[in-house]
Amino acid sequence: MIPAGFEYLSPKTIAEAVGLLKTHGPEAKPLAGGHSLVPLMKLRLAAPRYLIDLNRIQGLAYVREADGALRIGAMTRHGDLETSDVIHNRYPLLADAARVIADPLVRNMGTVGGSLAHADPAGDWGAAMLAARASVVATGPRGERVIAIDDFVVDTFQSALEADEILTEVRVPQPAARSSGAYLKLERKVGDFAIAAVGVQVTLDGGGKCEQVGIGLCNVGATSLRAKRAETRLRGKAPDDTAIAEASKAASEECDPVSDLRGPADYKRDIVRVLTARALKRALQRARG
Amino acid sequence: MAHKIRVTINGTVHEADVEARLLLVHLLREVLNLTGTHIGCDTTNCGACTVLMDGRPVKSCTIFAVQADGRTLMTVEGLAKDGQLHPIQEGFHEKHGLQCGFCTPGMMITSCALLARNPNPSEEDIRWAISGNLCRCTGYVNIVEAVKYAAEKLRSQPAAAGGRS
């Protein structure tokens, strides 16, 4: 399959890329890893007139902790997170998610920033970052702005980025004491999108109660979803089997899956219930060390 | 508009004028006549088109040729040297790691990248590494055996580890 013709532009700096986006407006599309965009172009579901390749910009791929947050450069490949020591040792939610995205070859190209900016409800990072209460940095002609992940996810394939902005960094709060996370995905085969997936991040207080909890759901709604009612069921409570069962039931009720090739909606709801319970248990076990 | 690109493939520098929409796999197969890299699904699923770009296995059907400008590639043609099969090729031969052979170039390239990173992979490591490469014939058992064979052979001759390019 051959994409429609386009003009290829390869800026060397963020400022140059932003300038090109500003000049060409909605006719331009930034190219990160390209593993969502290029297939769409080959199917001619996307036909941007200008393709602005971000891969030649230095300094957009990094993973480091600074000022209370884990900072992930937008062009960091999924595979780089999969093999990152800091992710492996301190961010189990992200480590779990990184290793189940698409397949190893795709993970060598696909980027965290590109995936989030694509705003596909089936994207694993959306659900994981909701659970982690991450924020993203958008850089445009007016400078940088920090957007909470809840505000960044707007609709199916629609993020809060303006046409002349580029997602440049993802920030994840550093883990508090007695906190951990987990990400569980059910897929038909490696490389497929999730039938459903659930990300969880929990923080326990000194008495073992749930001080903070984040639960993100993947591919069971029009966007990546926060399971708000499930979170409410747990916050301030002792996360015993009853509380976990109630929260998991709440998550299955508040998601909104559609019936498709991956299964009927009621099946997916039940998968959300099961995965939420398992992810909570795994995260709690890890948080208790 | 044509773009002038310069790509090092299997140790040889190639220059070409390419249209921006030319896919890397089409550059390899149709412009440079390196037809060992296969087009399987053409939809980023099967891994038949896998090549090494700067040492990492990637799907050449999902990358534009112009993106490879200035980079170093290895394709299946870069494995054998001076008529001598690379240990991974020898492994596929000895362990019957192929039937129709269509997935084999991608399988071998992905395996080479694994062995360069992890010279002594477990069965699970191997299955994990090749999970983006689909084979519809073998059931994978002999492919895993082939990679184990290559791992052992490469460990006994460390100078040849990974992709010799």
SS3 B47: coil
Q: What is the mean pLDDT of residues B86-100?
A: 98
Q: pLDDT of B133-145, one tens digit each? A: 999 999 999 999 9
Q: pLDDT of A218-241, one tens digit each? A: 999 999 999 999 999 999 999 999
Which residues in A58-118 belong to E strands, given as ranges? 63-66, 69-73
Domains of chain A: 7-52 (3.30.43.10), 65-173 (3.30.465.10), 179-287 (3.30.390.50)
Q: What is the mean pLDDT of residues B121-125?
A: 98
Q: Domain-by-domain residue ranges, chain B?
A: 2-78, 87-157
A7 touching chain B per CB within 8 A: yes
Q: Where are the alpha helices (DSSP H) in A110-227?
A: 112-118, 124-132, 149-152
pLDDT band with cut points at 50, 70 and 90 for residue A272: very high
Domains B2-78 and B87-157 equal at CATH topology level: no
Q: What is the mean pLDDT of residues A132-144?
A: 97
Q: Using the Cα atoms of residue A175, residue A180, residue A186 and residue A191 in order, give the sign of their dihedral.
A: positive
B24 Cβ contact list (under 8 Å, min separation 6) = B51, B60, B61, B63, B64, B65, B67, B68
With CA atoms as reference, the chain B residue closest to A40 would be B43
pLDDT band with cut points at 50, 70 and 90 for residue B163: very low
pLDDT band with cut points at 50, 70 and 90 for residue B164: very low
Q: In the predicted model, is pLDDT for residue B98 greater than 80?
A: yes
Judge: B62–A35 Cβ closer than 8 Å, yes or no.
yes
pLDDT at B159: 61
Complex confidence, ipTM: 0.95
pLDDT band with cut points at 50, 70 and 90 for residue B158: low
From the list B62, B67, B128, the residue facing A39 with the nearest CB is: B62
pLDDT at B165: 42
Q: How far apart are CA A224 and CA A133, in angstroms?
A: 13
Q: How far apart are CA A163 and CA A215, in angstroms?
A: 30
Q: How far is CA B117 from CA B57, B148, B151, in A?
A: 12, 14, 11
Asked if A77 and A91 touch (Cβ cutoff 8 Å), the reply is no
From the list B1, B64, B133, the residue facing A7 with the nearest CB is: B1
pLDDT at A91: 98
Residues of B at the A interface, defined by Cβ within 8 angstroms:
1, 3, 19-21, 23, 42-45, 47, 50, 56-59, 62-64, 66-67, 110, 128-129, 131-133
What pairs with residue B23 in β-bridges?
B64
Third-level CATH fold of B87-157 = DNA polymerase; domain 1 (1.10.150)
Among B5, B56, B62, B134, most A C-beta atoms within 10 A, so best to mutate, is B62
Tell me the pairing of strands A135-140 and A63-66.
Answer: unpaired
Asked if A269 and A255 touch (Cβ cutoff 8 Å), the reply is yes
Q: In the predicted model, is pLDDT for residue B161 greater than 90?
A: no
Asked if A40 and A61 touch (Cβ cutoff 8 Å), the reply is no
Burial class (CB in 10 A: 0-12, 13-18, 19+), B56: middle
Give the CATH architecture of domain B2-78: Roll (3.10)
